[in-house]
A and B are shown apart, each in its own frame.
Chain A
Amino acid sequence: GNSVTQMEGPVTLSEEAFLTINCTYTATGYPSLFWYVQYPGEGLQLLLKATKADDKGSNKGFEATYRKETTSFHLEKGSVQVSDSAVYFCALTIPGSSYKLIFGSGTRLLVRP
C-alpha cells in the first residue's frame, strides 16, 4: 500500500545549525509530495511541495527534492531559527485518489537559542 516513513523525533538543534529531516515513501503511480508544518496549537500549513521527479520545492529557507530513484523527499534548511520549532509532516497524494493526503508520523523539531 501507499505509505510515508519519517525519521523519529524529537530533533534538537542549536540556532543556525543545519537541518535534515528524512522522509521516504512507498506509492503506486507517481505521487505528489508535500511537507506540512504544525506550530503549537495550530493546524497544518503547507510548507512546500513537489509534483514530479527531480522537482525541488522551497519556501522560507526550507528545501526538499523529489528523488524517484530513492523514493525520498528529505527536508533541509541551512540555518534554523528558534521560530522553526514545530512538528513537520511529510505527506503524499496519489493521482486519481481525490487528493487524499497520506501522512508520515511527524517529526518534532526543537531549536534552542
Chain B
Amino acid sequence: NAGVTQTPKFRILKIGQSMTLQCTQDMNHNYMYWYRQDPGMGLKLIYYSVGAGITDKGEVPNGYNVSRSTTEDFPLRLELAAPSQTSVYFCASSPPTDGSNQPQHFGDGTRLSIL
C-alpha cells in the first residue's frame, strides 16, 4: 500500500540550479496537490491538478512549474533555484468526489535546501 510517494527525501541545490521533485500515487486519485511548508508555518498551496492534462496555480506558484501527463504522476519543477525556495515540499492526492469532501493523502515530503 504505497499511497503517495515522493522522491527525493532530501536535496541540496545551489542557487540557479534546477530540479524536479517527483510525486506518484497508486490510488487512482483525480486530484493532486503540491504544498510547501516553511518553518513554523502552515502549508501553502503551490499548484494543483484536477486530472491528467489539467493544472492550475495555487497561492504561491512563482518560481515553479508542474505537469500532469498521467493520473499517477505530478512532478514539480524548480527552474532557477533561489534561497527563498528552501522549504519542505509535500505532495497530496484526493479521490474522486462522491458529494462529500474527501481527505487528502500526503506523501512524506521532500526537504529542499538552496545554498
Q: Once bound together, how far apart are the Cα atoms of A94 and B35, in whole Å?
A: 17
Q: Are A49 and B101 in contact, with the CB atoms below 8 A? A: yes
Q: Which residues of B contact A103 (CB under 8 A)?
A: 42-44
B99 to chain A, nearest CB (A): 10
> B residues bordering A, Cβ < 8 Å?
4, 31, 33, 35, 40-45, 48, 50, 56, 58, 90, 92, 94, 97, 100-104, 106-109
Judging by beta carbons under 8 Å apart, are A105 and B42 in contact? yes
**Given known A-B contacts A44-B90, A49-B103, A99 and B31 have beta carbons under 8 A apart:** yes
Contact (Cβ within 8 A) A32 B101: yes
Q: Which residues of B contact A43 (CB under 8 A)?
A: 4, 90, 106-109
User: Which of B42, B92, B108, B109 interacts with A106 by CB under 8 Å?
Assistant: B42
**Which residues of chain A are near B40, meaning CB under 8 Å?**
105-106
Is there a chain B Cβ closer than 8 Å to A66's Cβ? Answer: no
Contacts A/B (CB < 8 Å), 28 sampled: A32-B101, A36-B106, A43-B90, A43-B106, A43-B107, A44-B90, A44-B92, A44-B106, A45-B106, A46-B103, A46-B104, A49-B103, A51-B100, A89-B42, A89-B43, A93-B101, A98-B31, A98-B56, A99-B104, A100-B33, A100-B45, A100-B48, A101-B33, A101-B35, A101-B104, A103-B42, A103-B44, A106-B42
If A43-B4, A89-B43, A99-B94 are given as contacts, then 16 extra A-B residue pairs at C-beta distance below 8 Å, sorted by A number, are: A34-B103, A41-B108, A44-B92, A45-B106, A46-B103, A49-B101, A49-B103, A51-B101, A98-B50, A98-B56, A99-B104, A100-B58, A101-B43, A101-B104, A103-B44, A105-B41
- Cα A34 to Cα B94 with chains together (Å): 14
Residue of B nearest to A32 (CB): B101
Q: Measured between C-beta atoms, what is the minimum distance from B92 to chain A in Å?
A: 8
On chain A, the residues within 8 Å of B41 by CB distance are: 105-106
- The smallest C-beta distance from A44 to any residue of chain B, in angstroms, reads 4
